Amino acid sequence: MNVPRKKVLVAMSGGVDSSMTTKLLLEQGYPVEGCYMKLHGNEQMHEQNIARVERVARYFNIPWHVLDRQDLFHQSVYQPFIDIYSQGQTPNPCTFCNRLIKFGTLFEFARELDCHHLATGHYVKCDGQYIYQGDDPGKDQSYFLFNIEPHIIPHLLFPLGSWRKSDVKAMAADIPLLASLATQKESSEICFVEDSYIDVLREHLQVDQPGKVLDTGGNVVGSHRGYMHYTVGQRKGFDVPLSHTALYVKQILPKTNELVVGTREEINLQRFAVRDLNLFLPDPGQEFTCEVKVRYRNPKAPARVLLGAGGSATIELERPEYAIAPGQAAAFYEGTRLLGGGYIV
């Protein structure tokens, strides 16, 4: 006897991933509703996306909704992005959005619609207890989900976790109405950044303020365009005329508008701290071993996590890691299983 599937709300963007997520769920027998979220203030983009969502929803004959959360997005994602850059750190706005918006207020909306499940087009896997890396190593997005609320994991579905992006596009190309989705330009990693993050910051802050470049001994060795143009590990964009070796940004000093630069070896770290710890482990104890990713594209590195007070932790790496940037996420793994993480300080 087949047990009826419980209803799913799909986060629909009008793109190929969410559209194929809808298709796969329907084929698996789930009752499905769709939802497009208005977050950033680009109304022209919203109009285009909503038209695509409507076309997809009609094709699959499912109900769909538009959820306007622009105020919450501005308060909890956009403004912190500005504030963190002004503090000389490198923010990760997608992780704010995933916790508070895509797997926060959207999950609440799903419950209002009596949907038991929430599904997205992320390339990750979920067994109801943990999130895992997706099978497509080039598209795995588990790193960005380290900070979602643990209690919603049992309600999450990620149909694309076992797929490769190329196969998803090929599947869409076989459906005439959806074929154009397979060839349209991929959305930006940060939805409100069209070209450069500096263009966004320039609307709110004075980003072009020439300042001094210091070596690790505190000596003035050059100049730069303004500290918000840089992140830890950056090699170009500042002027150190007398240096004959490659130098990288080691530290950003926003109060004095100065950069500290060093050799690649000087900016490697083996020990660092994180704040706002979020763990999916039911009983982690005072410490545990795992692998850590300190940037989305970085490989995982063996480490020991020592838990502290107030949601803090100290990370001790097995070997030094390059360019660990304050503000970025440190995501913890055991094999392909995501254990949680925190924000680098």
The torsion angles phi and psi of 193, rounded to 5 degrees, stand at: -105, 110
Q: Diameter of the chain by CA atoms?
A: 77
Task: Work out the angle between the directed axes of helices 16-27 and 43-60 (0-180°, nearest 10).
Answer: 20
Q: CA 121, CA 21: separation in Å to the nearest integer? A: 6
Distances 60 to 20, 27, 178 between C-alpha atoms, Å: 11, 11, 11
Residue 330, strand partner residues = 342
Nearest residue to 9 via CA among 150, 175, 156: 156
State how far Cα 67 lies from the chain centre.
Answer: 21
Q: Quick check: is 94 catalytic?
A: no
Q: CA 91, CA 129: separation in Å to the nearest integer? A: 28
DSSP label at residue 189: S
State the Rg of the chain over Cα.
22
**Considering 35, 94, 97, 290, which one is annotated as catalytic?**
97
> β-pairing, 211-214 with 220-224?
antiparallel
**Considering 35, 115, 126, 191, which one is annotated as catalytic?**
191
> β-pairing, 258-262 with 248-253?
antiparallel
Nearest residue to 258 via CA among 299, 229, 287: 229
Q: Quick check: is 35 catalytic?
A: no
State the CB neighbour count (10 A cutoff) for residue 21.
27
Which residues are catalytic, by number? 97, 191
